[in-house]
Structure 1
């Protein structure tokens, strides 16, 4: 049995990665949820199981039992709808090495797709709003106009019950998914950690996801050199949500924000929300102690 973690313990906890074999501003209105734009709808067919969902209370540790895109163009006038701050820094990036191959595409039979990352042998971190109730779904690591490393069917989803639409809702916009296949044994997977305010304003973070406005969401796009913005408040609690200057678009939801460390690549959070105000755009990330604890318990309860 895994004991519950105190806030002090959790603040020091880092879940390790593995490369097995191989001055606050007024908060503007948040954007619509990324990943649910009807423009991106295409139909997938499968006989995969419908995942079971377990909810955990905000502020509590997980304690329960388990349970593409149509082409379109974007005009210059619509650039802020893509939440691009200044120049669009996203670029297509195909790398089959670790850790990039551990980032992948999450997609569902009704055509909704998002991004995600392996955080265990058969464990995926994505955004809660990327889940589709009652519909089979898959995760394909390293997806790039196909599935070079195969895919796993989603059997279980672990998430909070906090509602989206507030800072604490953005912080809680994460989900840990369990797959029916141990893809991470061969591909490796990310570690996970709590955000560290001491690293704000440093362009040291990486993000990869599947934007719907590029290659119809069928190729991975990278945005390196992302910065956690210190002038924006961590407005739920000391573990998030945090806000960055990452350029993004629908389909990138659920993609990881990670730090490269001597212990390997460590995910701080998963893309949850975007904002636009005037000529600025920025993004917010699901994160926090509950997310870290859920990853820990999922790894142990679903080996």
Structure 2
């Protein structure tokens, strides 16, 4: 187990310290896919299976669900979230103890790759504005984002977050714990609830959901982003939430660990990021970029500056590194905002503490 001051493993050394492996066993997994309906009585449900031939000699199946008794033209939404605001306060346990508690987890049914192996060519679906006045860009120099299909660990832990406000990215940070940004959450919840619905689909790719999906049931936060379209002040430092999911999805996908950022790590080219950018592939495929530097802003609650390439949709995706002695990576921040001079992630010590609280109160 690394101590709190140990530096992350150099990006060039990753595959030496964290060797790729196949799954320990081939145990089939159970997944859930869901949708919601309105009906005046309990619907009658019928299901059937049909083979799908795609010419690749693989066994593809279509699951057909027929529902009888649905109210015509009705729309139904998922459950809203309970929750509570949390006050950032002095930590009651040591950083080394929290590092031991907030470790990562790799299920035996998943393989491991320190960098994704199923890289894909991206299609540019939103192009930059070109004219006499250049708009603020979030791509610095060459675009280094790479789309991927890899479902080994840790690529299995990141997925698409969907809410009433649109979509973003998120990462499993515990057995039933999702880390994402505050500004993707719909805080205009029905009476008696903290926030409206959240759906998480890990390893979402072109509509597929190899690990199923889960919905939020509870939420922890420090600051609610106010929805005005700008991330300013405390919003930039605290633009993250932990959503407790309604089932232990992490036992299927695995999860990343969490760690507070140490400013001694400024300028180390050791960090990676994953997310779902809207300008590539219509936000339907995850992208990855690795080996970039960050610069913390010297506080427990930090905006962590970087020049990794980002676009809306990547918000909530983790900034993470690997430490010798761990089984997998740890997230230190989530992508939050962008300008023409820097991109910014929110995280550090207070983020780690929020994760610790959510994981201790919802095992």
* TM bucket, shorter chain: 0.7 to 0.9
Q: Specify the SS of the correspondent of 1:225.
A: strand
Q: Say if 2:294 is the partner of 1:228.
A: yes
**Counterpart in the other structure of 2:362:** 302
**Counterpart in the other structure of 1:271:** 335
Alpha-carbon distance in structure 1 between the residues aligned to 2:135 and 2:24: 42
Q: CA deviation at 1:155?
A: 1.2
- Asked if the contact 1:82/1:248 (under 8 Å) is kept, the reply is no
**Counterpart in the other structure of 2:202:** 141
Write out per-residue CA displacement over residues 39-92 of structure 1, whole angstroms, 9 at most, x where no aligned residue. Answer: xxxxxx764211123112344679xxxxxxxx9531352885451111111111
Alpha-carbon distance in structure 2 between the residues aligned to 1:49 and 1:82: 37
Write out per-residue CA displacement over residues 180-226 of structure 1, whole angstroms, 9 at most, x where no aligned residue. Answer: 12111122100000112222212211101000111111100111112
**Counterpart in the other structure of 1:26:** none
- Asked if the contact 1:141/1:149 (under 8 Å) is kept, the reply is yes
Which structure has the higher relative contact order (CA within 8 Å, separation 6+)? 1
Aligned residues: 250
The normalised TM-score by structure 2 is 0.62
Shift of the 184–200 alpha-carbon distance from structure 1 to 2, 3 Å rule, reads same
Q: Say if 2:343 is the partner of 1:283.
A: yes
- Asked if the contact 1:82/1:250 (under 8 Å) is kept, the reply is no
Q: Specify the SS of the correspondent of 2:322.
A: strand
CA RMSD, Structure 1 to Structure 2 (Å): 2.9
Q: Specify the SS of the correspondent of 1:101.
A: helix
**Counterpart in the other structure of 1:174:** 240
Alpha-carbon distance in structure 1 between the residues aligned to 2:200 and 2:80: 13
The normalised TM-score by structure 1 is 0.74
**Counterpart in the other structure of 1:36:** none
Residue number among 207, 214, 235 corresponding to 1:152 in the alignment: 214
Map 1:1-303 → 2, pairs under 5 A: 47-59=77-89, 72-77=125-130, 81-108=136-163, 110=164, 112-133=166-187, 134=189, 135-145=196-206, 146-161=208-223, 165-229=231-295, 234=297, 237-238=299-300, 240-262=302-324, 263=326, 264-276=328-340, 281-303=341-363
